Amino acid sequence: MNTKALLCLVLIVGLAVTGVGCTETQKGAGIGALAGGAGGALIGSFFGVPAMGAAIGAGGGALGGALIGDQMGKKKQEKEKAELEDQLQEKDKQVQAAEMSSSNEGKTFIEGHYEYINKKQWIDTTTTERVWVPETVEGDRTIEGHYEEKPIPSGHWEEYTEKMWIPDHYE
């Protein structure tokens, strides 16, 4: 096979691979194979083996082009994903703004802030006391005198102040 026929074959295969509907990796491999085949054929012709040079160049170019195309495809996907996320965030902001403006007409917007709130809690100071219980008779049974622990309820209310975050709202 002569050099011109081989170069035409590499060119046709490369153009077919870089066609529409291919992934970035496939397009990169096709372009790399084209460039590598042409360069390999040119270098191989200096040594008298243009076909072998074209084959080696096409293989190496396809591998390098595929790696570059894969990286470009990943960057393109990341960019598209970021654009979609930005569009979603903007849409959410618009929806929230519309909800706030329609449901809070005539009301005053209050930014989030801290407030001190007075609260009360019961402080239990109940104690127990040891008390003597005298002997008693219940029916036909006699209960001897003994000591018992009896609770003595007591306690008081204690007031305190608590710092609380109040989020944005309308009044």
- In the chain the first and final C-alpha atoms are separated, in Å, by 87
- Mean pLDDT, 10 residues at a time, the chain of 171 residues: 61 58 80 85 84 85 87 90 88 75 73 90 89 91 91 89 88 79
CA torsion sign for 35, 37, 40, 41 is negative
So where are the chain's domains? 3-102, 109-170
Q: How confident is the model at residue 142, as a pLDDT?
A: 92
Q: d(Cα 3, Cα 40) in Å, to the nearest integer?
A: 11
Tokens of 165: 């975050």
CA angle, residues 64, 71, 39, in degrees to nearest 5: 20
Q: How confident is the model at residue 170, as a pLDDT?
A: 83
Q: d(Cα 107, Cα 4) in Å, to the nearest integer?
A: 81
